[in-house]
């Protein structure tokens, strides 16, 4: 007799699923029987992940090359998904990057690109699939923000602001989805082992020396479980939860000084 799994007959689209947290999020869904669409820019890496997940979990895994930082990238990805005859029940908006450093003298394309990928594409994909989720009364959205979402981030200002947007947007959608059967969660990781640090240039900040990074699989598991339980916000790890919970009680000017200090080069 075949055992039915939670995700049988459903498909999860996971963005940023070529490396890092996205790969492990895709694996969490695959393990429960969801078919997976993996999106990112690096085709070879996507193919390798898709093959591994399909073989290990007996699911359908489809790699889709997409630059979601490009304007309209979300719609082009959705068009390609439709052309391939696939549908989407769950959107995992994980693709994102950060850039450390002062706003002054920073590269404009890099700063705006963060908003395009971390926020614009996330809203675009959610907007495309949201009506179907509501009509089907199932599925939902798992958005990856950051502990950066809980306060402004001097010396990494646009990244922190982009993640505050993700948190605010996700919480609002969680409320809008109340009693519909559609689940919404916002995953807020603290420092996590992945390629993020190299691209963001945060490896030489004081923050990077304050403690160990969590593994991307443990972060992904927490995000996946939170989404399955329709938990509004999931901050990973005790230390990160404690810090995030203290933020509202700190005087704003002190908080800004503290974050600036943490984001300063060693
Ligand atoms: N690692 C941390 O410490 C940490 C902490 C808090 C929050 N986060 C968040 O967690 C999420 C995942 O990051 P990660 O740590 O796993 O970083 P990562 O290892 O750098 O992975 C980022 C993923 O996003 C994809 N990506 C980047 N630019 C893209 C684009 N223009 N279009 C489509 N895909 C793109 C990358 O694939 P390609 O390069 O192949 O496109 C990769 O799959 C991000 O939203 C990040 O902000 C990370």
The set of protein residues with a Cβ atom below 6 angstroms from ligand 1 is: 15-22, 40-42, 45, 66-69, 94-98, 117, 144, 146, 189, 191-192, 194-196, 199
Pairing relationship of beta strands 11-15 and 61-65 according to DSSP bridges: unpaired
How large is the average pLDDT for residues 66-79?
98
Contact between 119 and 162 (Cβ < 8 Å): yes
Query: Residue 1: pLDDT above 80?
Result: no
pLDDT tens-digit series, residues 33-50? 999 999 999 999 999 999
Centre of ligand 1 to C-alpha 14, Å, is: 11
Structure pTM? 0.98
Q: What SS3 state is found at 6?
A: coil
* Ligand 1 closest atom vs CA 98: 47
Model confidence band, residue 84 (pLDDT cutoffs 50, 70, 90): very high
* Ligand 1 closest atom vs CA 202: 3
* Ligand 1 closest atom vs CA 93: 45
Contact between 182 and 137 (Cβ < 8 Å): yes
What is the rounded CA–CA span in Å between residue 15 and residue 96?
9
Q: What SS3 state is found at 185?
A: strand
Centre of ligand 1 to C-alpha 139, Å, is: 23
pLDDT tens-digit series, residues 208-230? 888 889 999 999 999 999 999 99
Query: Tokens 């699939």 map to which residue?
Result: 129
Centre of ligand 1 to C-alpha 161, Å, is: 16
Centre of ligand 1 to C-alpha 122, Å, is: 13
Query: Residue 2: pLDDT above 80?
Result: no
What is the rounded CA–CA span in Å between residue 65 and residue 122?
16
Centre of ligand 1 to C-alpha 197, Å, is: 10
* Nearest alpha carbon, ligand 1 atom 44: 96
Model confidence band, residue 204 (pLDDT cutoffs 50, 70, 90): confident
pLDDT tens-digit series, residues 241-257? 999 999 999 999 999 99
Centre of ligand 1 to C-alpha 27, Å, is: 16
Mutate to test the pocket of ligand 1, among 47, 66, 96, 215 (most ligand atoms within 8 A of CB): 96
What pLDDT is stored for residue 210 in this prediction? 87
71 C-beta neighbours (distance < 10 Å), count: 11
Residue 79 zone, left/alpha/beta (φ > 0; ψ -120 to 50; rest): alpha
Centre of ligand 1 to C-alpha 196, Å, is: 6
* Nearest alpha carbon, ligand 1 atom 39: 41
Query: Residue 19: pLDDT above 80?
Result: yes
Q: What SS3 state is found at 263?
A: helix
Contact between 159 and 256 (Cβ < 8 Å): no
Report the percentage of the chain scoring pLDDT > 70: 99
pLDDT tens-digit series, residues 132-159? 999 999 999 999 999 999 999 999 999 9
Cβ neighbours of residue 202 under 8 Å, at least 6 residues apart?
Answer: 98, 100, 156, 196, 208, 263
Please, what is the average pLDDT of the chain? 97
Contact between 158 and 166 (Cβ < 8 Å): no
Centre of ligand 1 to C-alpha 224, Å, is: 17
Q: What is the DSSP string of 40-74?
A: ES-HHHHHHHHHHHHHHHT--EEEEE--TTSTTHH
């Amino acid at each position: 007799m075949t055992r039915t799994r939670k995700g049988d007959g459903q498909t999860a689209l996971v963005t940023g699923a070529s490396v890092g947290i996205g790969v492990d999020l895709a694996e969490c869904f695959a393990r429960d029987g969801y078919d997976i669409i993996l999106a990112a820019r690096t085709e070879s890496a996507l193919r390798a992940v898709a093959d591994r997940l399909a073989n290990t979990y007996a699911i359908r895994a489809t790699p889709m090359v997409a630059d979601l930082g490009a304007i309209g990238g979300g719609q082009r990805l959705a068009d390609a998904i439709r052309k391939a005859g696939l549908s989407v029940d769950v959107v995992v908006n994980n693709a994102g990057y950060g850039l450390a450093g002062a706003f002054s003298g920073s590269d404009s394309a890099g700063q705006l690109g963060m908003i395009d990928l971390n926020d614009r594409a996330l809203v675009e994909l959610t907007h495309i699939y949201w009506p179907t989720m509501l009509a089907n009364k199932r599925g939902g959205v798992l958005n990856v923000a950051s502990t950066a979402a809980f306060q402004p981030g001097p010396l990494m200002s646009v990244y922190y602001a982009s993640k505050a947007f993700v948190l605010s947007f996700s919480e609002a959608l969680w409320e809008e989805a109340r009693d519909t059967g559609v689940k919404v969660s916002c995953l807020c990781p603290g420092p996590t082992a992945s390629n993020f640090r190299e691209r963001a240039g945060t490896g030489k900040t004081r923050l990077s020396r304050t403690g160990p990074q969590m593994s991307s699989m443990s972060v992904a598991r927490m995000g996946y479980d939170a989404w399955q339980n329709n938990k509004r916000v999931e901050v990973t790890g005790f230390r990160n939860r404690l810090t995030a919970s203290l933020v509202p009680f700190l005087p704003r000017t002190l908080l800004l000084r503290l974050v600036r200090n943490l984001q300063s080069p060693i």
